[in-house]
Structure formats: C-alpha cells, structure tokens
A = this chain, B = another copy of it.
Amino acid sequence: MMQHNLEHTISLLTGTPAALNALLRHLPEAWTFRNEGENTWSAFDVVGHLIYGERIDWIPRARFILQFGETRTFEPFDRQGHVCESRGKSLVQLLDEFAGLRADNLDKLRALNLRQGDLERRGRHPAFGAVTLSQHLASWAAHDLTHVHQISRVMAHQYRQAVGPFRAYLGVLHCSGHSSP
C-alpha cells in the first residue's frame, strides 16, 4: 500500500476520461442509461456526477484549504447536483465535457506547484473535521476508481439474468452496491 504521491495521483486522474470514453461512447443506451433500480444511477448519471465534482469539488476545495486552512468549513457537496445539469444532454456530450474539465483541472493542479508542506495543510470537512490536502487529492483519484467500479457493476447488472448459472463466477454480480451514490 502506498503513501500519497502527487505524481501518481495526476497519472491516475489523467487516464479516467479516455477510459470512460473508450468504455461507454460507442455503447447502445441499453447499457448506459439503465440503472440498478429506483434511486440508483446509470453510467450516464455517474458521468454527470463526475462533471459536477470537477466543477464544484476537487480544485475549488483544494484552493479553499490553501486559502483558509481550518478556519472555514467546506461547503457541503450536493450528491444530486448533477441531475439538472445533465438533463437533455447526450452521453457523448457529457464524456466530452468531463474530458475538457479534467484537463483544465489538472492544469490548475500543476499550476499550484504544491510542495510537501502544502500537502500537509489541513482544511475542515463538514462531516470529517480536519482533513489534509494530501487526503483530499488522494480521494480525487480513488473517487474516479469508485465510479469506474460502480459503472462496471451497473452495466453488469443488466445481464444478471442473461448469464444464467455463470453468475456464480462473476464477482461483479455479487457486489452489494457499496459504491451507490
């Protein structure tokens, strides 16, 4: 298990838009617009949520930590914030929007030119209290992975019946949805 490493985080964050694009862009809506049942997300919803995080969460909170430290608490993040913004858009539009925002945000992250001392600075999370900038940035990478994990599960769910007895060997069909919103 590794310590947080800013270059490793940037590497991971760099690849996610292209990975989701390759996974989803060419698929019929039968894969990308279906969810796991009431109040769950489709792949389309997840990409909308990732966009919302790019706009509202990761870089804004990083700057907030650097500016205010523990003296001010982050604004709570709205987990349904993407719903209105995604409405009427296509998945292709969302994938392009995510890729553009992520590239801009990685430019902004590099421009912060963070040193070890910066990464150890603390902010105040509304639920967790003190968190470090390092933890916040590591979570940005792990959050991408949480949603890749979720998308693979939501899509596999669509074939739960179709696979018949093979479901016993398909681990993704045994996932209990811990990465639901």
Contacts and interface: CB of A to CB of B under 8 A. Distances in A.
B173 A175 contact: no
A42 interface: no
A131 B1 CA distance: 40
A141 interface: yes
Nearest to A171: B179
B27 A12 contact: yes
A153 to B, nearest CB: 6
Contact of A132 (B7, B156, B164): B164
A137 to B, nearest CB: 9
Copies of this protein in the complex: 2
B171 A149 contact: yes
Contacts of A142: 156, 159, 162-163, 166-167, 170, 172-173
B139 A166 contact: yes
Interface stretch (A17-25, A80-88, A108-116): A17-25
Interface of A: 1-5, 7-8, 11-12, 14-16, 18-28, 30-31, 34, 125, 127-129, 131-132, 134-136, 138-139, 141-143, 145-146, 148-150, 152-153, 155-175, 177-180
Given A146-B156, A149-B149, A171-B180, 16 more contacts: A1-B157, A2-B30, A2-B158, A4-B159, A8-B31, A12-B27, A14-B26, A132-B164, A134-B162, A138-B159, A142-B173, A150-B172, A171-B178, A172-B178, A175-B175, A175-B178
